Amino acid sequence: MTDVHRTIDAVWRIESAKLIAGLARIVRDVGIAEELAQDALLAALERWPKSGVPQNPGAWLMATAKHRAIDHFRRNKRIERKHEELVRQLDPHQPVDVTMLDDDIGDNLLSLVFTACHPVLSTEARAAMTLRLLGGLTTDEIARAFLVSEPTIAQRIVRAKRTLAEKQVPFEAPRKAELAARLPSVLEVILLIFNEGYTATAGDSWMRPALCEDAIRLGRILAELVPEEPEVHGLVALMEIQASRAAARLSRTGEPILLLDQNRALWDQLLIRRGFAALARAEKLGGATGPYATQAAIAACHARALTADATDWPRIVELYNQLPPSPVVELNRAVAVSMAFGPAAGLALIDSLLEEPSLRNYHLLPSVRGDLLNKLGRHSEAREEFLKAAAQTRNARERELLLTRAEALEP
């Protein structure tokens, strides 16, 4: 890749979300806005290697996309009545204002976030749209991130755009009264992206750090756009504190290293401090008991402990008790209970989950149960649980770890 192409790629990552957001405000259709932005990108790929990168590449892309918008509306007979008004608005003969990308950019970006994460779309479609429109990722990059085929992701994005158009979803941020109801959908998507990067559900790698970085960046953008929403800061705190462990979670050859075995000297102190600051902001805004802030507070308990033995497990149990109940929360609480009050207490909670339908194929249930049985000296039972977990996981690295633990317990 030439230096110019590297520059174009970097510019696109930085400017694409603002570009699409600004165009969507004009054309009122996210799908069309993205096509116009892509046209501008293609123009840059064609021209910049010959003419050089312009002084303000973002403004150049916007001006080029506006030219394409004029052509689009001229071809579209269905909106002929709007033609003159739009042409006046998008007059290509007007000098390019280098600050045009900053006009209402906060409102535009916020509208793009809530459009990409609209509840009329499936969770998978929301994640793909968010990475495409706000993360600047290509279809191929998204497909590789989630280990699905590129045509599958392409179809998912096309269907999502069609759904937004058919449902006539307005390109606008929800009003304050609606924001609280719509915000969980956005936060869910960002955390889904982060979690897939933090512990990949399938494939040969246990982590995909680039996805974690994308999710944290999106969370920080959202925190700037809605600074008075405590749960946004809670989510940012959770992701930053969790991401601080990245360097300690893998061996040199890529094998997973579990939390209690990690070298905490490798934890990123800058990310921890940023996470603490975001958590303090959430608490100051009155969101200390929100689910994301509570999970961040649990992560903070680990971050404050210089060693695994110094972890305040009773406090972590208290925090889990504050979370909305769910089978996965109960599973995590059982781990904390086992650390605070002994493996037998944790195993009793685990055994109460064995008939839970939603955990039937969840590999972490037998994995945790195997760990507690092992601590209680019930090694043959523990081995069977590790083998069961290994058969259920779709991640190759995690499967190797579980099989290794099972082999260590062979008679």
> Which pLDDT belongs to residue 96?
42
At 148-201, the pLDDT tens digits run: 889 999 999 999 999 998 998 888 888 877 888 889 889 988 998 898 889 888
Establish if 199 belongs to a structural domain. Answer: no
Least trusted range by pLDDT, from 101-115, 165-179, 225-239, 261-275: 101-115
Number of domains in the chain: 3
Regarding whether 145 and 95 lie in a shared domain, the answer is: no
φ and ψ at 271, to 5 degrees?
Answer: -65, -35
Task: Show which of 69, 99, 129 is a domain's final residue.
Answer: 99
Same domain, 120 and 94: no
Which of 171, 202, 227 terminates a domain? The answer is 171
CATH assignment at residue 127? 1.10.10.10
Mean pLDDT of 203-218: 85
Residue-level pLDDT at 239: 97
pLDDT, tens digit (0-9, with 9 covering 90-100), for 88-147: 555 555 444 434 334 444 578 888 888 888 889 998 899 888 888 887 778 888 887 776
299 part of a folded domain = no
Residues 6+ apart with CB under 8 A from 179: 173, 226, 229
- Which domain does 129 fall in, by range? 106-171
Residue 200 in any domain: the answer is no
Give the tens place of pLDDT for each residue, 348-360: 999 999 999 989 8
**Range with the lowest mean pLDDT among 49-58, 115-124, 133-142, 232-241?**
133-142
One domain for residues 92 and 123 = no
**Do residues 7 and 72 share a domain?**
yes
Please check whether residue 252 lies inside any domain of the structure.
no
Residue 269 confidence (pLDDT):
97
Domain with 359 in it: what CATH number?
1.25.40
pTM for this prediction: 0.78
118 and 84 assigned to the same domain: no
Residues 110 and 94 in one domain: no
In a domain, 214, yes or no: no
81 & 127 share domain = no
**Are residues 110 and 92 both part of a single domain?**
no
